[in-house]
C-alpha cells in the first residue's frame, strides 16, 4: 500500500503531489538543505513546540505561490504514526462535515506519511503572541476595545465549529471525569503546585463533579487544545491550527474551558493586565451561542487548568514560581463553590 494518502482537495489547491511527497521525505536533520528538495520548493522557517516540529515551505505553482507546512512529531513516545494519523483524519472529517463554512480557517490535510503530515498553511499571528504585546501591564489599559473584539471573533469561530459539528447532548459522567482528574494530578507536582493544594482540589473537584452526575450538556466535535497558542489572527479573521487532540464527540465545555483556563493562567502571572484578560474572557463567554451552566463550567475549568499546568515548564526556582503566578491560590479559589468564578464570570 502506498504510504501516502492524498486528499481530494489537492487539485483545488493546485499543488503538485510529487512536490508534497518531496516535502514529506525531506531529511529530518537539515530540512532546508536536503538534496531531495525540488527547485520549486523554498524552505521558509521551522518552529518547535513541546511535541512537534513544523517546517513551512513555499511552493511555486502555475497560479502563484502556495504555502504548506510539514509537521513532524518530536517525541516518539506519543506514538508518531497514530498521532499524525489522528490529526490527518480529524481535518478530513471537519472538511467533509463543515464544507465551505469554515474554509480557510483551519488547515487542509494534503498528505500523510509515517513521519509527517503536510498541511496547507493558515495565515496569522498566534493570539498568544498578541496578548504578550497588548495585554501586559504596560499596554493592557489601551487594549480594552481590542480585547472585546477579539473575544467575539474567537467565540464566533468556536461557536460555528460546534454548531456545524454538533452531535446531541451528553450527561456528565463523574466516573470518567474522576479518572481523567487522577491522571492529571501527579503531573502537576513538578510545576509548583503544593501537594496539599492538589489534595484539597481533588476532594472539592470530586464532590462538585459527583453532584453534577448526568447533568445534560451540549456535545460536539472538540478541538481538544483550544488555547491562544493555536488560535491565529489575520486581518481581523480567526484561524485555528493543531487538531492533534481532536475528538469526535465531547461536551462543548471542553474547548470553552481550555480557552478561559489559559487566560486564567496568564492572569496569575504578574506581567499580564488582569483587566484586559477579564474583558477578553467575558466577551468570549457572552457571545458563545450555547447556554452554559456555571457549575459545569467550574469543574471543566479545574480540569483544564490541571491539564494546562502539567503541559508547562517545570518550576525549578523561586523566581520561576513568581513568574508562573500563584497556581495554588488560583486552583483553590476555583475549587471553592462559595466563591465566584474568576474574571467576574456570571451567567
CATH number at residue 143: 3.90.1200.10
Q: Please say if the pLDDT value at position 302 is more than 50.
A: yes
Residue with cell 483545488: 12
Both 328 and 181 in one domain: the answer is yes
Mean pLDDT over each residue of the chain, to the nearest integer: 85
Q: What is the bridge-based pairing of β-strands 64-73 and 125-126?
A: unpaired
Both 86 and 131 in one domain: the answer is no
Both 22 and 162 in one domain: the answer is no
Both 130 and 224 in one domain: the answer is yes
Domain's final residue, options 103, 120, 137: 120
Q: Which residues of 151-167 are buried (b: 16+ CB within 10 A; e: fewer)?
A: bbbbbbbbbbbbeebbe
Alpha-carbon distance of 225 to 290, in angstroms, equals 19
Both 45 and 160 in one domain: the answer is no
User: Treating both helix axes as pointing N-terminal to C-terminal, what angle do 127-134 and 144-164 enclose, rounded to 10 degrees?
Assistant: 160
For residue 123, give the DSSP letter: P
**Which pLDDT score, from 0 to 100, does residue 80 have?**
58
Give the residue-averaged pLDDT of 5-25: 51
Both 207 and 338 in one domain: the answer is yes
CA distances from 289 to 43, 217, 277 (A): 41, 13, 20
Sheet holding 109-112, edge to edge: 5-6, 109-112, 117-120, 64-73, 52-61, 41-48
281 within 8 A of 263, measured Cβ to Cβ: yes
Q: What is the bridge-based pairing of β-strands 247-251 and 216-222?
A: antiparallel
Task: Give every CB contact of residue 142 below 8 A, 6+ residues apart in sequence.
Answer: 134
Full residue range of the structural domain in which residue 63 is found: 5-120
Both 84 and 67 in one domain: the answer is yes
Q: Looking at residue 50, which CATH number applies to its domain?
A: 3.30.200
Q: What is the grid cell recorded at 124?
A: 496569522
Domain's final residue, options 64, 98, 120: 120
Q: What is the grid cell recorded at 87?
A: 490529526
Q: Please say if the pLDDT value at position 6 is more than 50.
A: no
Both 84 and 152 in one domain: the answer is no
Band (pLDDT 50/70/90 cuts) for residue 252 is: very high
Band (pLDDT 50/70/90 cuts) for residue 19 is: low
The H-or-E segment that residue 59 falls in is strand 52-61
pTM, rounded to two decimals:
0.88
User: Treating both helix axes as pointing N-terminal to C-terminal, what angle do 327-335 and 294-310 enclose, rounded to 10 degrees?
Assistant: 150
Count of domains observed in the chain: 2
**Which pLDDT score, from 0 to 100, does residue 23 have?**
66
pLDDT digits (tens, 9 = 90+) for 103-121: 999 999 988 877 788 999 9
Alpha-carbon distance of 135 to 143, in angstroms, equals 7
Q: What is the bridge-based pairing of β-strands 109-112 and 117-120?
A: antiparallel
Both 172 and 235 in one domain: the answer is yes
Give the residue-averaged pLDDT of 21-27: 59
Both 65 and 142 in one domain: the answer is no
pLDDT digits (tens, 9 = 90+) for 44-88: 998 887 677 888 988 887 777 888 898 887 766 655 567 888 899
Q: Please say if the pLDDT value at position 315 is more than 70.
A: no
**Which pLDDT score, from 0 to 100, does residue 52 have?**
79
Both 106 and 183 in one domain: the answer is no
39 or 107, higher pLDDT = 107
Q: What is the grid cell recorded at 262?
A: 489559559
Both 223 and 333 in one domain: the answer is yes
Give the residue-averaged pLDDT of 273-288: 96
Alpha-carbon distance of 16 to 255, in angstroms, equals 35
Strand partners, 247: 222
Domain's final residue, options 99, 120, 141: 120
Band (pLDDT 50/70/90 cuts) for residue 311 is: confident
Within 10 Å of residue 241's Cβ, how many Cβ atoms? Answer: 23
Alpha-carbon distance of 278 to 276, in angstroms, equals 5
Band (pLDDT 50/70/90 cuts) for residue 30 is: very low
CA 273 to chain centre: 22
pLDDT digits (tens, 9 = 90+) for 144-166: 999 999 999 999 999 999 999 99
Band (pLDDT 50/70/90 cuts) for residue 226 is: very high
Q: Please say if the pLDDT value at position 273 is more than 60.
A: yes
Amino acid at each position: 500500500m502506498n504510504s501516502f494518502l492524498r486528499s481530494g482537495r489537492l487539485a483545488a489547491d493546485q499543488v503538485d503531489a510529487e512536490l508534497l511527497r518531496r516535502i514529506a521525505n525531506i531529511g529530518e536533520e537539515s530540512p532546508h538543505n536536503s538534496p531531495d528538495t525540488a527547485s520549486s520548493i523554498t524552505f521558509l522557517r521551522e518552529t518547535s513546540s513541546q511535541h512537534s516540529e513544523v517546517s513551512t515551505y513555499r511552493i511555486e505553482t502555475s497560479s502563484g505561490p502556495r504555502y504548506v507546512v510539514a509537521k513532524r512529531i518530536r517525541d516518539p513516545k506519543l506514538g508518531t504514526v497514530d498521532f499524525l494519523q489522528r490529526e490527518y483524519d480529524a481535518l478530513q472529517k471537519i472538511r467533509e462535515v463543515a464544507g465551505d463554512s469554515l474554509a480557510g480557517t483551519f488547515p487542509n490535510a494534503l498528505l500523510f506519511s509515517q513521519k509527517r503530515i503536510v498541511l496547507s498553511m493558515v495565515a496569522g499571528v498566534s493570539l498568544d503572541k498578541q496578548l504578550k504585546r497588548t495585554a501586559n501591564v504596560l499596554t493592557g489599559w489601551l487594549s480594552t476595545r481590542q480585547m472585546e473584539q477579539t473575544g467575539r471573533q474567537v467565540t464566533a469561530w468556536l461557536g460555528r465549529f460546534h454548531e456545524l459539528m454538533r452531535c446531541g447532548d451528553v450527561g456528565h459522567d463523574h466516573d470518567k471525569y474522576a479518572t481523567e482528574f487522577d491522571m492529571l494530578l501527579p503531573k502537576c507536582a513538578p510545576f509548583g503546585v503544593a501537594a496539599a493544594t492538589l489534595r484539597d482540589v481533588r476532594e472539592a473537584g470530586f464532590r462538585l463533579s459527583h453532584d453534577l452526575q448526568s447533568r445534560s450538556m451540549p456535545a460536539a466535535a472538540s478541538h481538544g487544545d483550544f488555547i491562544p497558542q493555536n488560535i491565529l489572527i489575520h486581518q481581523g479573521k480567526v484561524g485555528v491550527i493543531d487538531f492533534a487532540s481532536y475528538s469526535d464527540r465531547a461536551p462543548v465545555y471542553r474547548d470553552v474551558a481550555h480557552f478561559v483556563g489559559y487566560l486564567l493562567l496568564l492572569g496569575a502571572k504578574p506581567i499580564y493586565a488582569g483587566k484586559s484578560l477579564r474583558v477578553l474572557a467575558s466577551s468570549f463567554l457572552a457571545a458563545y451561542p450555547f447556554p452554559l451552566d456555571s457549575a459545569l463550567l467550574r469543574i471543566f475549568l479545574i480540569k483544564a487548568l490541571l491539564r494546562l499546568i502539567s503541559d508547562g515548564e517545570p518550576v525549578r526556582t523561586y523566581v520561576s514560581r513568581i513568574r508562573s503566578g500563584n497556581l495554588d491560590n488560583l486552583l483553590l479559589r476555583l475549587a471553592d463553590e462559595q466563591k465566584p468564578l474568576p474574571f467576574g464570570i456570571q451567567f
